[in-house]
Structure 1
Amino acid sequence: MLLDKSTSMSLMDISKIFSLLQPKEDEEEDTNCCQELNQAVFKDDDKLLTDLLSQDKYRKCINHRSGWGIPVTPLRTAAAQGHLHCLEVLLAHGAEVDSLDVKAQTPLFTAVAAKHLDCVVALLEAGANPNGSLYNNCSPVLTAAREGDVDILRELLRHGADVDVKPKMPDWASNATTCRGPLYISAVYGHLDCFKLLLQHGANPDYNCTEEKMLTRIKQPKTVLEMCLRYGCGLEYIQLLIDFGANVFLPTLIVDKTTRQNEAVMLLLKERVCPKPLMSQARLALWRFLPMENKMCSIDCLDIPKILKNYLNHVS
């Protein structure tokens, strides 16, 4: 008798659990609507997407996630596929511009990673955070610097992205890797245009990481100059760092007999003994006086001849 009762209760409990797991009618309808929106975006059918979003039941699902593997919003799908018109339709109908997926990636990060410049611009103009998500280990700027996407990088920096952003690492993992910011990455991957652009927007020419707390936890933080010498980045990188005020007395790598960059080493040694020309010193003094963010924009606002603006911006 007791056994039968126990068995009966167990079956009842299982039935309750399964009933709870079954989607409610409203939830099932929302999922279907979201899937239809995602399908329209995936097919790049902005007309169908507009028709769907003219109905309330679709509009209320515009920020819902659906799909196998990584459930995503329609806006994330549009950014990943580079479907600009669909992306613009979604933004016009109130799609959340900085919605996160399960990897804490924003639509902007997805568009940057997929190299869709037009979608990047549209998202930034709609107010997307140029730094991406605080919860993602990487960032749009780091991604663009690694891939050498100078046009995308320019748009991010123009909209206020952190030029010295670093990978997000836990405190216990603090080492030289945590200092590998966009300037370092662009040099190692050989993207000279990105390297110069970062310096023009105020990247620190000595250390990628400027956070004192982080630097104190690293026994021997490496300067960007040291990294450029070690990885054989070439004279252009060394000269740019010197022009933008890197401390030429910081690197210790130049005494390493295994260094293959003899010309770069000689350039650095020459800079140690020969003072900078007066014009270069004046440019550096003014450069350091300008605010850290949007240095190029600040120079463009100065009431001085164009030729001087170009000189201050290191534009030949």
Structure 2
Amino acid sequence: MDREPPSRIGSKPSDLGDFSATRFLSNPLMGGVESDWSPMHEAAINGRLLSLRRLISQGWGVNIITADCVSPLHEACLGGHPACASILLKHGAEVDGVTTDWHTPLFNACVSGSQECVNLLLQYGASPHPACDLASPIHEAAKRGHMGCIESIAAHGGNIDYHISHLGTPLYLACENKQIACVKKLLESGVNVNRGRDLESPLHAVARASNEEMATLLLDFGADMQAKNAEGKRPFELVSPDDPLFQLFMQREEPPSLMQLCRLQIRKCFGIQQHHKINELLLPDELKNFLLHS
């Protein structure tokens, strides 16, 4: 990952070393001091494990932060380097440290899509829920299609149907960003197919994106074609008549079959993140596959 380090405080052009003349106004060996881009940050973002070990052995603090409160752990997770994150955590790195943009290491791990980093952070007690709704890890993972990160967060108590007013649900963000595999997995996990952002449903987002495959998925999982957004429009009213998606909506206008209604109701009874229990039912495989949309 190419990254330009920020301007350095108190740097001296004549003091060149391994880390491009990094100097500090305060003692850089103190954990938690405010500094500029440090050798610790440099090693962490680039996945230089040996350099990181050497710096720690020399007395560098693992919780040294920049003016924006970015720690080496933030950078290790943003770079997707679980080995670097692990050594930092073992030496006492703050697992839930928050930057001035409200980014936590867990949020950064979801940006990079590193499920290993996500698992590691959660094992060290990272909160699965955001410190601030401006930076929600599970929403960031959904937007980028990092379903593995979502599954790990959910396994540690995270709500995969978590609604944030300005973002909506993870499903809505996945639809809005055309993350089809993520949409499918969220639906299979039992999220509310009709909950999006305010009055805008996931099906509205798919209609705006004109994505037939995602629309079919949502409709198969019981999306409401009659739901109206803030403008009073139903999903099919956002699609031009010559769009293939419009034809799909017209075909699905008929009331769902009794079989489909039964499937949706049974799945609803199992609730969110409980659909693995369908496989434990004493039912023929064909019927279990039907309930699981397999």
Q: TM-score range by the shorter chain?
A: 0.7 to 0.9
**TM-score under structure 1 normalisation?**
0.68
1:192 lines up with 2:180 in the alignment: yes
- Asked whether the 8 Å contact 2:143–2:177 carries over to 1, the reply is yes
- Asked whether the 8 Å contact 1:229–1:261 carries over to 2, the reply is no
Give the CA deviation at 1:106.
0.6
Cα separation, 2, equivalents of 1:134 and 1:32? 19
Could you say which residue in structure 2 is the equivalent of 1:6? none
1:89 pairs, out of 72, 87, 90, with 87
Could you say which residue in structure 2 is the equivalent of 1:151? 148
1:243 lines up with 2:233 in the alignment: no
SS of residue paired to 1:79: helix
The two structures, once aligned, show a CA RMSD in angstroms of 3.5
1:66-91 per-residue CA deviation (whole Å, 9 max, x = no partner) reads x3x53422211211222221111122
Cα distance 1:299–1:90, how it changes in 2: closer, same or farther (>3 A)?
farther
Could you say which residue in structure 2 is the equivalent of 1:175? none
- Asked whether the 8 Å contact 1:181–1:208 carries over to 2, the reply is yes
1:199-256 per-residue CA deviation (whole Å, 9 max, x = no partner) reads 12222211215xxxxx5xxxxx23332332243121x222222221223333543674
- Asked whether the 8 Å contact 2:69–2:98 carries over to 1, the reply is no
Q: What letter matches 2:47 in structure 1?
A: D
1:27-81 per-residue CA deviation (whole Å, 9 max, x = no partner) reads 66416998454354345343453455467x55xx33342x3x5342221121122
| Rg larger for | 1
1:41 lines up with 2:44 in the alignment: yes
SS of residue paired to 2:142: helix
Cα distance 1:300–1:72, how it changes in 2: closer, same or farther (>3 A)?
farther
Could you say which residue in structure 2 is the equivalent of 1:225? 203
Cα separation, 2, equivalents of 1:305 and 1:97? 46
- Asked whether the 8 Å contact 1:188–1:231 carries over to 2, the reply is yes
Could you say which residue in structure 1 is the equivalent of 2:292? 313
Give the CA deviation at 1:273.
2.7
Give the CA deviation at 1:109.
0.8
Could you say which residue in structure 2 is the equivalent of 1:103? 101
Cα distance 1:64–1:187, how it changes in 2: closer, same or farther (>3 A)?
same
Q: What letter matches 2:202 in structure 1?
A: V
Q: What letter matches 2:275 in structure 1?
A: M
Q: How do 1:1-316 residues align onto structure 2 when only pairs under 5 Å count?
A: 29-30=29-30, 35=38, 37-42=40-45, 44-50=47-53, 53=56, 58=60, 61-65=61-65, 67=66, 70-131=68-129, 133-167=130-164, 178=166, 180-209=168-197, 221-234=199-212, 236-251=213-228, 252-253=233-234, 256=237, 259-260=240-241, 263-278=244-259, 280-292=260-272, 294-300=273-279, 302=281, 308-315=287-294
- Asked whether the 8 Å contact 1:88–1:122 carries over to 2, the reply is yes
Unmatched segments (≥5 aa) in structure 2: 1-24
Cα separation, 1, equivalents of 2:249 and 2:189? 23
Cα separation, 2, equivalents of 1:85 and 1:291? 36
Cα separation, 2, equivalents of 1:305 and 1:126? 42
More helix by share: 1
1:78-119 per-residue CA deviation (whole Å, 9 max, x = no partner) reads 112222211111222332221111211111111221333432
Cα separation, 2, equivalents of 1:303 and 1:167? 39
Q: What letter matches 1:313 in structure 2?
A: L
Q: Once the two structures are aligned, what percentage of the paired residues are identical?
A: 27
- Asked whether the 8 Å contact 2:128–2:157 carries over to 1, the reply is yes
